[in-house]
Chain A
Amino acid sequence: MIRAEWTKLRTVPSTAWLLVGAVAATVAASAIYADSINVSGCLSPAECPADTTKLSLGGVQFGQAVVAVLALLAVTNEYGTRMIRTTLLANPRRITVLLAKASVVTAAALIAGALGVVGSLLAGRFILDGSGYPLPSLADGPTLRAAAGSVLYLGLIALLSLGTGTIIRDTAGAVTAMMLLLYVAPFALALVSDPQLRERLHRFGPTTAGQAIQATTDLGQLPIAPWAGLGVLAGYTAAALLIGAVLFTVRDA
């Protein structure tokens, strides 16, 4: 079953492009973030503390869009081409089909995520070299947690997107929903100027909470602790997958 899903994913030309795109978007945006560090106004980097790890991993915010599209297409494309009927005819156990899809998509997202995250850290090290800031290194505990957590974050986003795709079944609708969730929601939160309300909302937003995993400094200032934040995202993912699974089993294909 997993092999069948893997073959389907592998043979659609857009998959390869999207995977390459996810890695490229992550690394490129990370490099831009790392390059934006400006020490001209400071006497020494110690005076302008910066979370270089988080900065170097900033591109994950952009890679996630590509990962999300990849994941939801695995479902919505089948509905678009009516292929889903063939799939379900060959294997009527729908939960198994969904689990197989989820495994394959998550594996692809984790691989792309790992490449993107490692690439981002390397780009960050290269750009920040000589700036006086500590270079992000995987030998450092918090950095390792941030890097591994970012890969997991992308895996969870892929599953969340797969669940959303299963619920909505239509590419345009699912892409729009994911864009709203990934970008418009945090963007709207940033416009709330009441700091207390904003912090409370940040704690419950899937992306704003999930991205807490990337922080390595000033952990006390975060709206939510790193692993707890990733847990919030996992909760959203579980909910989306559960609703998707229920709808997938009860609805006609």
Chain B
Amino acid sequence: MSGFWWLLRAEWTKLRSVRRWTLGLLAAVPLTLALSLLTGGGSGTDLNDHPEELGPIGPAGVPVTDNRNFVHQPMAGDGRITARVLTLTGEEGFSHEWAKTGIMLRESTEPGSRYAAMMVTPGHGVRLQADYTTDLAGSDSTGPRWLRLTRTGDTVTGYESADGVSWNRVGAVDLGDLPPTVEVGLFAASPGRLAVETSVGSSSTGSIPVRIIGTLDNVRVDSTQPQPTAQWQEDDTSKGFVQGPVGENGAANFTEADGVFTVAGSGDIGPYVPDDDVTQLSLIGVNLGLVAMVAIGVLFITSEYRRGMIRTTFAASPRRGRVLVAKATVLGVATFVVGLVASLLAFFVTQPILRSNGFGPPAYPVPSLADGPVLRAVVGAALFLTLVAVLSLGVGAILRRSGGAITAVVAAFIPLLILVGGLPLTAAQWVMRTTPAAGLSVLQTIDVDHDATAEPWSMAPPLAGLGVLAAYTAAALAVAVWLVRRRDA
């Protein structure tokens, strides 16, 4: 082990004493920062000036999504609503996994008001959701299923049942200061179908509104106090203006016949998710920073070959594979430290600029390093640069020519991204999931549908993407170790 320690020290001394390498390594910081600043300075949004596009403000004071069809009546005092979900059917054969229909209890019909709801979803079974962010899982049933919400003071408890006789408690939520009379009823909502259109070199993503049609029966409202009226009213905030008769009565999105209620709606009830990932935007500079990492990684080995120094190195330490591993270790640690400085600087310097260009609250919450995904993106950006540097070392050791190695590794990133922009979606996805460029996925902080985005760096899950890059790096190093042991120096 002391032999390896000695090797590490020798490689560290080489890395730090060649001034050109130190400068090249440090260049990753200004390069990363420069591209992030250019992108941040050149990007803007006026979404905050158009609160109507943002959605209502929810109970926590932040924008929420509250698009659904709610068929309701008032309920005075404590009480409960019960219904059985029979079916939920998406239109044109498409059911979003988070489409939902069921029963709901709301403070009022005001968009953004407090609520609790029991629902059946096609992809996630029975759920109890409340106040746009609470989500408790019930059984895996996708219907038919009996659902019940019981109000006791400010607490609302959700139950489900297979037969309407024996009930299972799913959970309870506290809705704060509920008024004496609340609105209870049936609801339906479905997120849209995401579609990516690629044509002639450019792609765009769009959400096509989709209705979910829920049928429910055995609807009952029981209250400890006399009921004001028992007239059902429709409050439809469906998104995408999907209107049209679902039943023979010709009512917009709601019909009732022989105790069977049909409710259709589109949109979603939940947190507001910004379209742009401001953390990802502020870290985009690694695309430029990586060029410095490639140059250093390649030079760290090829310049030894060119100057014949490698013979001295191998003469001093005949176990060539270990020399390469020592080089990779030293390079990895050094580039990670520099990469972390670059990514932290890019993040903290670009964020205020993005905010002043419109990417601020309420439409875009201020990202904080205390958030798991943000921390993952910032540290991931540094790891990305590290992996690119070590990959370059491996490719440099394999090719032994700096020109070829630098071209080869750089070509695997930006020129590839440019090419991907002109590819059909499935081909682009394949490229962005199986080549080293997949590592760029680690910059994401917002959950997006990886199959339905035109952004090349969002086509793979964050950690899986970084894993692909890590696999290439490991493979390049392994081939390099094998080759240096076999070849003459």
Chain A contact residues, CB within 8 Å of chain B: 14, 29, 32-33, 36-39, 41-42, 48, 50-51, 55, 58, 61-62, 65-66, 69, 72-73, 76, 80, 171-176, 179-180, 182-184, 186-188, 191-194, 197-198
The count of residues in chain B whose C-beta lies closer than 8 Å to any C-beta of chain A is 40
Min CB gap B211→A, angstroms: 23
Min CB gap A31→B, angstroms: 11
Q: Can you list 19 A-B pairs with a CB-CB distance of less than 8 A?
A: A32-B419, A32-B422, A36-B200, A36-B423, A37-B200, A38-B424, A41-B197, A55-B201, A65-B407, A76-B403, A171-B401, A183-B415, A183-B418, A184-B414, A186-B418, A187-B414, A188-B35, A188-B288, A191-B38
Given contacts A61-B418, A62-B415, A173-B295, contact A188 B38 (CB under 8 A): yes
B306 CB–A CB distance under 8 Å: yes
Residue pair A179, B410 in contact (C-beta under 8 Å): yes
Residue pair B39, A175 in contact (C-beta under 8 Å): no
Residue pair B423, A194 in contact (C-beta under 8 Å): no
Question: Among A37, A41, A184, which residue has the most Cβ atoms of chain B within 10 A?
Answer: A184
Residue pair B199, A32 in contact (C-beta under 8 Å): no
CA distance A62 to B418 in the complex (A): 10
B411 to chain A: which residues have CB within 8 Å? 65
User: B397-436: contact bitstring with A at CB < 8 Å (1 yes, 0 no)?
Assistant: 0000111101100110011011100111001000000000
Known interface pairs A76-B403, A172-B295; 18 further A-B residue pairs with C-beta atoms within 8 A, sorted by A's residue number: A14-B404, A36-B198, A37-B199, A48-B199, A55-B200, A58-B422, A65-B415, A69-B403, A80-B306, A171-B402, A175-B406, A175-B410, A183-B418, A187-B414, A188-B35, A191-B284, A192-B38, A194-B42
Residue of B200, B299, B402, B419 near A48 (CB, 8 A) is: B200
B415 to chain A: which residues have CB within 8 Å? 61-62, 65, 182-183
CB-based nearest A residue for B38:
A188
Residue of A36, A69, A175 near B422 (CB, 8 A) is: A36
A174 to chain B: which residues have CB within 8 Å? 403
Min CB gap A34→B, angstroms: 10
A80 to chain B: which residues have CB within 8 Å? 306
Min CB gap B315→A, angstroms: 23
Min CB gap B489→A, angstroms: 17
B287 CB–A CB distance under 8 Å: yes
A173 to chain B: which residues have CB within 8 Å? 295
B302 CB–A CB distance under 8 Å: yes
B200 to chain A: which residues have CB within 8 Å? 36-38, 48, 50-51, 55
Residue pair B407, A38 in contact (C-beta under 8 Å): no
CB-based nearest A residue for B417:
A187
Min CB gap A80→B, angstroms: 6
Residue of B42, B417, B422, B427 near A192 (CB, 8 A) is: B42
